[in-house]
Amino acid sequence: MTALAGLYAITVDGTRGDTLYSQVESALAGGARILQYRDKSGDTLRRLTEAQTLLQRCNAHQALLIINDDIELCRRSGAHGVHLGREDRDLPSARKILGKDSIIGVSCYNDLQRAHAAADQGADYVAFGTVYPSSTKPSAVNAGLALLREARTALDLPIVAIGGITPENALPVVEAGADMVAMIQGLFGQEDIYRAAENTSRLFKPF
Protein backbone atom coordinates (compact mmCIF):
# COMPACT_ATOMS: atom_id res chain seq x y z
CA MET A 1 0.00 0.00 0.00
CA THR A 2 1.11 3.55 -0.70
CA ALA A 3 2.65 5.16 2.36
CA LEU A 4 0.61 7.64 4.38
CA ALA A 5 2.99 10.47 3.61
CA GLY A 6 3.23 13.44 1.28
CA LEU A 7 0.73 15.83 -0.24
CA TYR A 8 -2.86 15.11 0.85
CA ALA A 9 -5.21 16.80 -1.64
CA ILE A 10 -8.82 17.50 -0.66
CA THR A 11 -11.31 18.26 -3.41
CA VAL A 12 -13.32 21.46 -3.29
CA ASP A 13 -16.92 20.75 -2.32
CA GLY A 14 -19.11 21.61 -5.31
CA THR A 15 -16.48 20.95 -7.99
CA ARG A 16 -17.94 18.28 -10.23
CA GLY A 17 -17.57 16.27 -13.40
CA ASP A 18 -14.86 17.07 -15.92
CA THR A 19 -13.61 20.05 -13.91
CA LEU A 20 -13.16 17.83 -10.87
CA TYR A 21 -11.36 15.14 -12.87
CA SER A 22 -9.09 17.64 -14.59
CA GLN A 23 -8.08 19.29 -11.32
CA VAL A 24 -7.46 15.96 -9.63
CA GLU A 25 -5.40 14.67 -12.56
CA SER A 26 -3.16 17.73 -12.32
CA ALA A 27 -2.71 17.24 -8.57
CA LEU A 28 -1.92 13.54 -8.92
CA ALA A 29 0.47 14.10 -11.81
CA GLY A 30 2.21 16.74 -9.69
CA GLY A 31 2.80 14.24 -6.90
CA ALA A 32 -0.23 14.16 -4.58
CA ARG A 33 -0.12 10.83 -2.75
CA ILE A 34 -3.52 10.94 -1.05
CA LEU A 35 -6.78 12.35 -2.39
CA GLN A 36 -9.82 13.00 -0.22
CA TYR A 37 -13.11 13.26 -2.09
CA ARG A 38 -15.27 15.81 -0.32
CA ASP A 39 -18.82 16.38 -1.55
CA LYS A 40 -21.58 17.23 0.91
CA SER A 41 -24.45 17.06 -1.59
CA GLY A 42 -27.19 14.46 -1.44
CA ASP A 43 -26.75 13.25 -5.02
CA THR A 44 -25.92 9.65 -4.19
CA LEU A 45 -25.59 8.36 -7.75
CA ARG A 46 -23.35 11.19 -8.96
CA ARG A 47 -21.16 10.95 -5.89
CA LEU A 48 -20.73 7.20 -6.41
CA THR A 49 -19.84 7.70 -10.07
CA GLU A 50 -17.33 10.41 -9.22
CA ALA A 51 -15.78 8.38 -6.41
CA GLN A 52 -15.34 5.36 -8.68
CA THR A 53 -13.77 7.51 -11.40
CA LEU A 54 -11.44 9.18 -8.90
CA LEU A 55 -10.44 5.76 -7.59
CA GLN A 56 -9.36 4.77 -11.10
CA ARG A 57 -7.30 7.96 -11.39
CA CYS A 58 -5.70 7.39 -7.99
CA ASN A 59 -4.85 3.79 -8.78
CA ALA A 60 -3.22 4.88 -12.03
CA HIS A 61 -0.95 7.20 -10.03
CA GLN A 62 -0.43 4.76 -7.14
CA ALA A 63 -2.22 7.19 -4.83
CA LEU A 64 -4.85 6.60 -2.16
CA LEU A 65 -8.50 7.66 -2.32
CA ILE A 66 -10.13 8.64 0.97
CA ILE A 67 -13.83 9.50 1.23
CA ASN A 68 -14.84 12.38 3.48
CA ASP A 69 -17.36 11.32 6.15
CA ASP A 70 -19.40 8.82 4.12
CA ILE A 71 -18.67 5.23 5.20
CA GLU A 72 -21.26 3.75 2.86
CA LEU A 73 -19.86 5.62 -0.15
CA CYS A 74 -16.42 4.36 0.78
CA ARG A 75 -17.70 0.79 0.90
CA ARG A 76 -19.68 0.99 -2.33
CA SER A 77 -16.98 2.76 -4.35
CA GLY A 78 -14.13 0.53 -3.19
CA ALA A 79 -12.12 3.56 -2.02
CA HIS A 80 -9.07 2.94 0.11
CA GLY A 81 -10.55 4.53 3.21
CA VAL A 82 -12.66 7.14 4.97
CA HIS A 83 -12.00 10.26 7.00
CA LEU A 84 -14.17 10.88 10.06
CA GLY A 85 -14.93 14.12 11.87
CA ARG A 86 -16.48 14.83 15.24
CA GLU A 87 -20.06 14.53 13.94
CA ASP A 88 -19.55 11.32 11.96
CA ARG A 89 -19.93 7.64 12.86
CA ASP A 90 -17.51 6.40 15.50
CA LEU A 91 -14.32 4.66 14.46
CA PRO A 92 -15.18 1.14 15.74
CA SER A 93 -18.43 1.18 13.74
CA ALA A 94 -16.58 2.30 10.62
CA ARG A 95 -13.99 -0.43 11.09
CA LYS A 96 -16.67 -3.07 11.46
CA ILE A 97 -18.29 -1.98 8.20
CA LEU A 98 -15.14 -1.40 6.14
CA GLY A 99 -12.86 -4.10 7.48
CA LYS A 100 -9.34 -4.19 8.80
CA ASP A 101 -7.64 -3.26 5.53
CA SER A 102 -9.42 0.07 5.01
CA ILE A 103 -7.70 3.29 6.02
CA ILE A 104 -9.56 5.28 8.66
CA GLY A 105 -8.42 8.79 9.53
CA VAL A 106 -9.81 10.98 12.28
CA SER A 107 -10.00 14.77 12.65
CA CYS A 108 -8.57 15.78 16.03
CA TYR A 109 -8.72 19.56 15.61
CA ASN A 110 -6.43 20.88 18.39
CA ASP A 111 -7.17 18.03 20.80
CA LEU A 112 -4.23 15.74 21.52
CA GLN A 113 -6.35 13.57 23.84
CA ARG A 114 -8.77 12.91 20.99
CA ALA A 115 -5.79 11.79 18.93
CA HIS A 116 -4.66 9.39 21.67
CA ALA A 117 -8.19 7.96 21.83
CA ALA A 118 -8.29 7.55 18.05
CA ALA A 119 -4.94 5.78 18.12
CA ASP A 120 -6.18 3.43 20.83
CA GLN A 121 -9.22 2.60 18.69
CA GLY A 122 -7.07 1.73 15.70
CA ALA A 123 -7.02 4.88 13.58
CA ASP A 124 -4.57 4.74 10.70
CA TYR A 125 -3.82 8.47 10.90
CA VAL A 126 -4.94 11.58 12.76
CA ALA A 127 -5.38 15.12 11.48
CA PHE A 128 -4.76 18.40 13.29
CA GLY A 129 -5.85 21.88 12.20
CA THR A 130 -6.14 24.53 11.38
CA VAL A 131 -2.43 25.22 11.31
CA TYR A 132 -2.79 28.63 9.63
CA PRO A 133 -5.89 30.81 9.17
CA SER A 134 -8.15 29.03 6.70
CA SER A 135 -10.46 30.56 4.10
CA THR A 136 -12.33 27.25 3.89
CA LYS A 137 -13.09 27.15 7.64
CA PRO A 138 -12.44 30.65 8.99
CA SER A 139 -13.95 29.89 12.42
CA ALA A 140 -12.04 26.65 13.00
CA VAL A 141 -9.89 26.18 16.09
CA ASN A 142 -6.16 26.85 15.87
CA ALA A 143 -3.70 23.97 15.98
CA GLY A 144 -0.32 25.51 15.35
CA LEU A 145 3.19 24.23 14.82
CA ALA A 146 3.83 23.74 18.54
CA LEU A 147 0.95 21.29 18.75
CA LEU A 148 2.25 19.41 15.72
CA ARG A 149 5.65 19.06 17.37
CA GLU A 150 4.03 17.82 20.57
CA ALA A 151 1.87 15.36 18.65
CA ARG A 152 4.85 14.06 16.71
CA THR A 153 6.63 13.25 19.97
CA ALA A 154 3.56 11.70 21.60
CA LEU A 155 2.09 9.64 18.74
CA ASP A 156 3.35 6.70 16.72
CA LEU A 157 0.91 6.96 13.82
CA PRO A 158 0.96 9.27 10.77
CA ILE A 159 -0.09 12.89 11.26
CA VAL A 160 -1.93 15.12 8.80
CA ALA A 161 -1.78 18.91 9.14
CA ILE A 162 -4.55 20.98 7.58
CA GLY A 163 -5.69 24.57 7.41
CA GLY A 164 -4.36 27.46 5.37
CA ILE A 165 -1.41 25.48 4.05
CA THR A 166 0.07 26.49 0.70
CA PRO A 167 3.22 25.49 -1.19
CA GLU A 168 4.83 28.65 0.19
CA ASN A 169 4.19 27.98 3.90
CA ALA A 170 4.23 24.17 3.99
CA LEU A 171 7.90 23.64 4.87
CA PRO A 172 7.59 24.64 8.57
CA VAL A 173 4.64 22.24 8.84
CA VAL A 174 6.71 19.36 7.49
CA GLU A 175 9.61 20.31 9.73
CA ALA A 176 7.25 20.30 12.75
CA GLY A 177 6.55 16.62 12.12
CA ALA A 178 3.57 16.35 9.79
CA ASP A 179 3.74 13.24 7.62
CA MET A 180 1.13 14.71 5.29
CA VAL A 181 0.05 18.25 4.49
CA ALA A 182 -3.57 18.61 3.44
CA MET A 183 -4.51 21.32 0.97
CA ILE A 184 -7.80 22.48 -0.48
CA GLN A 185 -7.62 26.04 -1.81
CA GLY A 186 -3.86 26.03 -1.30
CA LEU A 187 -3.77 23.49 -4.12
CA PHE A 188 -6.98 23.63 -6.14
CA GLY A 189 -7.23 27.40 -5.84
CA GLN A 190 -3.85 27.83 -7.55
CA GLU A 191 -3.60 28.86 -11.19
CA ASP A 192 -1.19 25.98 -11.86
CA ILE A 193 -2.35 22.99 -9.80
CA TYR A 194 0.33 20.70 -11.19
CA ARG A 195 3.14 23.06 -10.21
CA ALA A 196 1.65 23.66 -6.75
CA ALA A 197 1.48 19.90 -6.16
CA GLU A 198 4.99 19.39 -7.47
CA ASN A 199 6.48 22.14 -5.32
CA THR A 200 4.79 20.79 -2.21
CA SER A 201 5.73 17.19 -2.91
CA ARG A 202 9.40 18.16 -3.12
CA LEU A 203 9.32 19.05 0.58
CA PHE A 204 9.00 15.40 1.53
CA LYS A 205 11.77 12.85 1.58
CA PRO A 206 11.35 9.95 -0.87
CA PHE A 207 8.94 7.30 0.37
Number of Cβ atoms within 10 Å of the Cβ of 148:
22
Q: Is 39 left (phi over 0), alpha (psi -120 to 50) or beta?
A: beta
Which candidate in 33, 38, 47, 95 is catalytic?
Answer: 38
User: Does 201 qualify as catalytic in the annotation?
Assistant: no
**What's the pLDDT score for residue 206?**
57
- Is 137 marked within a binding site? yes
- Is 95 marked within a binding site? no
Residue 168 pLDDT greater than 70, yes or no: yes
Q: Which phi and psi angles does 180 have, rounded to 5°?
A: -135, 145
* pTM of the full structure: 0.95
Which candidate in 77, 102, 107, 201 is catalytic?
Answer: 107
pLDDT tens, 105-125?
A: 999 999 999 999 999 999 999
User: Does 107 qualify as catalytic in the annotation?
Assistant: yes
Stretch (H or E) spanning 55:
helix 44-60
Q: Is 191 left (phi over 0), alpha (psi -120 to 50) or beta?
A: alpha
pLDDT tens, 2-13?
A: 689 999 999 999
- Is 68 marked within a binding site? yes
- Is 156 marked within a binding site? no
**What is the distance between the alpha carbons of residues 8 and 93, in angstroms, rounded to a whole number?**
25
- Is 36 marked within a binding site? yes
Q: Which fold has domain 6-201?
A: TIM Barrel (3.20.20)
- Is 136 marked within a binding site? yes
Strand extents, DSSP E, 98-190: 103-109, 125-129, 159-162, 180-183
**What's the pLDDT score for residue 205?**
67
User: Does 137 qualify as catalytic in the annotation?
Assistant: yes
**What is the distance between the alpha carbons of residues 40 and 73, in angstroms, rounded to a whole number?**
12
Mean pLDDT of 54-80: 98
Which candidate in 16, 137, 149, 152 is catalytic?
Answer: 137
**What is the distance between the alpha carbons of residues 203 and 112, in angstroms, rounded to a whole number?**
25
Q: Contact at 8 Å (CB) between 82 and 65?
A: no
Mean pLDDT of 182-186: 97
Q: Bridge partners of 127?
A: 107, 160
- Is 101 marked within a binding site? no
Distance between alpha carbon 66 and the CA centroid of its chain, in Å? 7
Q: Contact at 8 Å (CB) between 128 and 115?
A: yes
- Is 111 marked within a binding site? no
